[in-house]
């Protein structure tokens, strides 16, 4: 199940995923079109990239793409903390 929190920018929200834990460890369903649609998110993601930084404080590039090459982004922080920036345009 996905829990949705809306933020001040209408284009940005926080998704919290339920975890499944058993004797093998912890599991997350990272992507489910059905679950996203259940919370009102209708989109077609075209790629998924997983980065696993080896050092604390690693910074990845800032991404901005405007029309006609704009993309929806789905970011995960599995362990520790992450910092992401988003801007709205009128």
28-66 pLDDT, tens per residue?
Answer: 787 788 998 998 888 888 777 777 788 888 877 766 777
- Please say whether the beta carbons of 75 and 84 come within 8 A: yes
- Please say whether the beta carbons of 41 and 31 come within 8 A: no
**What integer pLDDT is reported at residue 63 of this predicted model?**
67
State how far Cα 25 lies from the chain centre: 22
**What integer pLDDT is reported at residue 23 of this predicted model?**
92
Confidence check: pLDDT of 90 > 60? no
- Please say whether the beta carbons of 82 and 14 come within 8 A: no
Confidence check: pLDDT of 3 > 80? yes
Task: Specify the pTM.
Answer: 0.63
Kindly list the domain boundaries of the chain, sorted by start residue: 1-52+65-79
Higher pLDDT, 79 or 14: 14
């Amino acid at each position: 199940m996905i829990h949705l929190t809306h933020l001040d920018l209408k284009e940005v929200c926080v998704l919290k995923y339920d975890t499944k834990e058993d004797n093998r460890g912890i599991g997350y369903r990272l992507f489910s079109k059905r679950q996203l649609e259940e919370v009102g998110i209708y989109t077609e993601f075209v790629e998924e990239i997983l980065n696993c930084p080896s050092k604390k404080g690693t910074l990845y590039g800032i991404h901005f793409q405007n029309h006609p090459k704009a993309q929806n982004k789905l970011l995960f922080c599995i362990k520790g903390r992450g910092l992401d920036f988003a801007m709205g345009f009128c």
